Amino acid sequence: MKRIFISTMLLLVVLASLVQAQTSDRAGSAGALFLKLGMSPRAAGMGNTYVAVSDDVTGVFLNPVSIVNVEGYQLFVSEMEYLVDMRAIAGGFSFPMPREIGGRAAIHYTGFLSGDMKMTTARDIDGVLTDQEFSWNELAIGATYARHFTDKFSVGVGMKYVRTDVADYYSQTVAFDIGTIYRTGFRNLRLGMSATNFGPDMKFRGKYNNTYISGIWQVRTAEEYGFYPLPISLQVGVADDLFMSEEVRVTGAIDFSHPNDLAERIHVGTEVAYNEMFFVRGGFFMDMDESDIEDPIAPDDDALDRYMEFRFGAGVRVSNFTVDYAWQDIEALGSVHRIGVSIAL
């Protein structure tokens, strides 16, 4: 067991160093950003403080070890109404592995659908002359395996196929996740770590025409599209039951996330449960460092200094049927709603 623990920790440290090497002010530098949307309403309602909470099939999107304590079979589906009529859907199914193998497995799907949009060009910004429509659709189909190595330490690993389709072009790759949960034995204190979306860079198939100015001539040449990275993230979290009685449970969690395309963030969240039937959740996350970007319109405006976002959610469980909801405010862009249903079979 010690070898497994040390090997897992070393792997997470190596992956963290790779993310550290890429981190800078690189907003918009990664692709397949739908992988960061957060398709678990429970996790989203807690401000995505879920790396150490991870105790159901909805957590496979943040920490693949989350299914390790699930009993029997569990089915999960969710939908998110995103900005400008875009939406995302997700689903997961967790099941026990044969006794000779041990542990649990899950299969899961995430899809992002833009709907039809007008095709525009630099000279036809309204799409009137082009008179065509296109869509931007993305998907991830994956499998996860998790198991206990002791009564305190568990490991989960996952692999997924990622694809982006834009009009007649597509890009694809394979990504990997790894995560751990360590139960300290003190109260219900858990420590979690995960590294998600590690894999080869993506690249759109096909070529485009690029124009160069050479002297008095314009030269057009066909070029291949460039590579772009996945939204890699290292996350470390701690969770504990702050209050427990026969009827009420209050769970608090703090996560630290280190993405490759944004500043490091700290996430704080809580869940209040009544009789494990009714749930209220809240959380927020914010950038750890102030941004070096200056507002071009109002240089003295501090709005860009440190990004902060609040999220809220609720849930109800009746027998083996659970419905969760999460609300997210994106200020001038409106609100984002997530709803999910989990069924224990």
Q: What CATH code is carried by the domain that includes residue 158? A: 2.40.160.40
Task: Say if residues 34 and 138 touch (Cβ distance below 8 Å).
Answer: yes
- Return the closest-CA partner of residue 4 out of 132, 139, 122, 149: 149
Residue 338 in tokens:
């997530």
Q: Which residues touch 116 (CB under 8 Å, ≥6 apart)?
A: 133, 134, 135
DSSP 18: H
Positions of E strands within 184-247: 190-198, 202-203, 207-214, 217-224, 227-228, 233-244
Q: Give 262-274 pLDDT, tens digit per residue.
A: 788 899 999 999 9
Q: Give 69-125 pLDDT, tens digit per residue.
A: 999 999 999 999 988 888 999 999 999 999 999 999 999 999 999 988 888 877 777
Domain that includes residue 92, residue range: 2-344
- In angstroms, the Cα distances linking 76 to 65, 87, 121, 186, 226 are 16, 17, 41, 31, 36
Structure confidence at residue 298 as a pLDDT band (50, 70, 90): low
- Return the closest-CA partner of residue 328 out of 135, 81, 78, 92: 81
**Number of structural domains the chain divides into:** 1
Give the span between the Cα atoms of 14 and 235, in whole angstroms: 13
